[in-house]
Amino acid sequence: MEKYNGTIRVGLGETVITPRENLQLWGFARSQVATGTHDDLHARSMVIEDVNGNTVCIISLSLVYIGRPLVERIREEVTRKTGIPGDAILISCTHTHSGPHIVEGPESYRELVLEQTVKSVTDAWESRFPARIGIEPTEVLELGRNRRRLLYGGVHPDPQVALIRIEDTDGKLRGVLFNYGCHPSSLDWQNRLYSEDWPYYAIKYLHEELGEDVWLSYLQSAQGDINTGYSSELSAVGVDMPVRTYWYIKVKGRQMSDAVTKAIPSVATVDNLTVDAVTGRFDFPLRKEFPVTLDEAAHDAAAADEKLTAMEADPKLAGTRKLDYIRFEHFSAHQRHEFAKKFYAEDFPEIENIELQALRIGDAVFFSLPGEVFSEIALEVKQKSPYRKTYAAGVTNGFFGYMPTAADFIEGDYEVDGCKYSPAAGQVLVDSSLELIGRLK
The pLDDT assigned to 29 comes to 65
pLDDT digits (tens, 9 = 90+) for 251-310: 999 999 999 999 999 999 999 999 999 999 999 999 999 999 999 999 999 999 999 999
- The SS3 of residue 426 is helix
The pLDDT assigned to 46 comes to 98
Residue 247 parent element (H or E): helix 246-263
DSSP-derived letter for residue 264 is G
For 17-58, give the DSSP string: ---SS--BEESTT--PBP-EESS--EEEEEEEE-TTS-EEEE
Question: 89 and 77 in contact (C-beta within 8 Å)?
Answer: no
Which region, left, alpha or beta, applies to residue 310 given φ > 0 means left and ψ of -120 to 50 means alpha? Answer: alpha
pLDDT digits (tens, 9 = 90+) for 203-214: 999 999 999 999
> Cβ of 36: how many Cβ atoms within 10 Å?
8
The pLDDT assigned to 3 comes to 42
Q: What is the mean pLDDT of residues 387-401?
A: 96
Q: What is the mean pLDDT of residues 157-166?
A: 98
pTM for the whole thing? 0.96
CA distance 152 to 158: 16
pLDDT digits (tens, 9 = 90+) for 82-118: 999 999 999 999 999 999 999 889 999 999 999 999 9
Q: What is the mean pLDDT of residues 107-133?
A: 98
CB contact burial 290-319 (16+ within 10 A = b; e otherwise):
bebeeeebbebbeebeeebeebeeeeeeee
Q: What is the mean pLDDT of residues 393-413?
A: 95
The pLDDT assigned to 234 comes to 85
| pLDDT more than 90, % of the chain | 90
pLDDT digits (tens, 9 = 90+) for 310-355: 999 999 999 899 999 999 999 999 999 999 999 999 899 999 999 9
pLDDT digits (tens, 9 = 90+) for 245-267: 999 999 999 999 999 999 999 99
Question: 8 and 271 in contact (C-beta within 8 Å)?
Answer: yes
DSSP-derived letter for residue 239 is -
The pLDDT assigned to 42 comes to 98
pLDDT digits (tens, 9 = 90+) for 5-27: 568 999 999 999 999 999 999 98
How many residues in the chain?
Answer: 441
Residues 6+ apart with CB under 8 A from 163: 135, 136, 137, 138, 176, 177, 178, 179, 260, 263, 264, 267
Question: 224 and 232 in contact (C-beta within 8 Å)?
Answer: no
CA distance 369 to 354: 10
DSSP-derived letter for residue 399 is -
CA distance 140 to 156: 10
Which region, left, alpha or beta, applies to residue 401 given φ > 0 means left and ψ of -120 to 50 means alpha? Answer: left
The pLDDT assigned to 6 comes to 65
Cβ-based burial of 334 (10 A; exposed 0-12, middle 13-18, buried ≥19): middle
Nearest to 16 by CA among 39, 38, 34, 49: 39
Residue 28 scores a pLDDT above 80: no
Residue 425 scores a pLDDT above 50: yes
What rounded mean pLDDT belongs to the chain? 95
Residue 400 scores a pLDDT above 50: yes
The pLDDT assigned to 402 comes to 96
The pLDDT assigned to 355 comes to 98
Question: 64 and 93 in contact (C-beta within 8 Å)?
Answer: yes
Residue 376 scores a pLDDT above 70: yes
- The SS3 of residue 4 is coil
Rg (CA), the chain: 22
CA distance 77 to 102: 19
- The SS3 of residue 145 is strand
